[in-house]
Each structure stands twice: as structure tokens, then as C-alpha cells.
Amino acid sequence: MKLHDALYTRRSIRHFTDEQIEPETLTEIIHDAQRAPSWANSQPWHVVIATGKTLATIKQQHRQLAQAGRGGNAELDVMHRNDWSAFAQQNMQDWNQQVMQNLASDPAGRSTFLYAQQSLFDAAAIVYLLLPTNATGWSLYDLGAFGQTLMLSATDHDVQSIPAYELVRYPDLLHQELKVPQSEMFAMGIALGYAAETQLNKLVTDRVATSDVLTILD
Ligand SMILES: Cc1cc2nc3c(=O)[nH]c(=O)nc-3n(C[C@H](O)[C@H](O)[C@H](O)COP(=O)(O)O)c2cc1C
């Protein structure tokens, strides 16, 4: 697949089928992601992938916590929506509208969206992206590049994905089930799998005009 096609084909999928991903495919995707650049080639990331029984346990406990109304305590700070820039707030509002418009024909509407979150999108595999707890913003920058490279490689392997806060919302559960020490943090999660044919998965987001984010000075 051409890079341009991968860039424009990748989009977030929120409901996966129960088809599993071959371990060799998962390894290849991470191998590709390792091509991401990083500060002095520090490669600060560590990756844990949950599949099978491990993932089933995490899904079950995550759903219980979410349904009990337990607030998240992600290891990266979460900023209240009102504190974002006006530009970002507008973009998030537009996205919310797109989500609801896409689900307009679904009588369950917002519940379908929430259920997908609570079910961790029925992912076949969840990739947890870890950093040392004392990592700086530079390593976080590197990890973002790693994540996007990973998702582009997944697209190239005909595997769909979603990067989601929801996946790392309850880090205590993840430290325990995945036996990750407190010296590492769950910075982000990416769910992988094969897309189910559902309305939820028909959402295609747009982007602001390039001129809104770009300044070229002569
Ligand atoms: C840091 C981050 C956190 C996200 N968290 C969630 C989430 O918790 N739930 C969700 O449904 N989507 C989540 N997303 C997916 C975004 O909504 C999605 O990437 C964005 O709307 C653009 O759509 P696209 O990925 O289909 O291009 C997250 C994406 C990023 C990068």
C-alpha cells in the first residue's frame, strides 16, 4: 500500500469483530513502529499487547468499573474541555456533532457510543504504550510518532485501529493485570482488530482547512 493511501484510509474504528490477529502480524506492526524517530535514538517506549484471556479479564473489569461510574485516573493529565484553546474547543464540538449525526439512524444513539467505550471496542488486541514515569515531553513526542507509525503499519497489514484515552482510563487495573511496575506509566493505548460492519464504524472525520493551521513565511 502506498503511504498516501494508508494516511487517508486510516480512521478510528470503534467496533471490532471477534477475528483474532496473528501474533506474527502484531510483531511486524511493532517492528515497523520502531522506525519512528526519537530523541538521540533513545527509543524510550515499551510495548505490552494484551490478547486472549488477559484481554478478556481487562475488558470485563473495565466494564465493571465504567458501569459503576468510577471516574478515570489516567497517568497523563487530562485537561477540562473549557481550558483548551477556543480553536480546539470548536473542533471538539464539531467532532461531537459528527459522531451524533453518524448515529442519527441508530435509536440507541449515544448509548451505542458509550457501550463501545465500555467494551473497549471489542478489540482483538490492545497495544499499551508505556514510558518511564519520569519521562519528559520529548519522549511523549517520540511516543506519538511511534503510535502513528504503528497505526499506519496496521493499515498496511489490513488491520484497523483506534487510539483511545478510554483504554488507559483505569491504570491501576492495567498495572495489576499486566504486571507493569509503577516506574512505568500507561501513556496511551491503541486498540487493534478487524472492523465490524456497523453504523458506528461509518464515521469519517474531516479536518480544518490547512490554512487554519499553517503559516509559511518568506
Ligand atoms: C490522544 C487520543 C485520545 C483519544 N481517545 C478516544 C477515546 O477515548 N474514545 C474514542 O472513541 N476515540 C478516541 N480518540 C479517537 C479520536 O476521536 C479520533 O482520532 C479523531 O476524532 C479523528 O478521527 P480519526 O482517527 O477517525 O481520523 C482518541 C484519539 C487520540 C489521538
List the domain boundaries for the chain: 3-202
Exposed e or buried b per residue across 40-70, where buried means at least 16 C-beta atoms within 10 angstroms of its C-beta: eeeebbebbbbbeeebeebbeebeebbeeee
Q: What is the pLDDT of residue 107?
A: 87
Between CA 154 and CA 7 the distance in angstroms is 11
User: Residue with the nearest Cα to atom 4 of ligand 1?
Assistant: 164
State if residue 8 touches ligand 1 by the CB under 6 angstroms criterion.
no
Amino acid 110: pLDDT: 87
- pLDDT at 114 (0 to 100): 95
Q: Cα(144) to centroid of ligand 1, in Å?
A: 13
Residue 116 CB neighbours (<10 A): 21
State how far the Cα of 160 lies from the Cα of 157, in Å rounded to an integer: 9
165 Cβ closer than 6 Å to some ligand 1 atom = yes
Give 171's Cβ-side CA count (13 Å radius). Answer: 20
Ligand 1 and 166: CB distance under 6 A = yes
The structural architecture, per CATH, of the domain 3-202 is 3-Layer(aba) Sandwich (3.40)
Ligand 1 atom nearest to CA at 169:
8
Q: Which residues of the chain have pLDDT under 70?
A: none
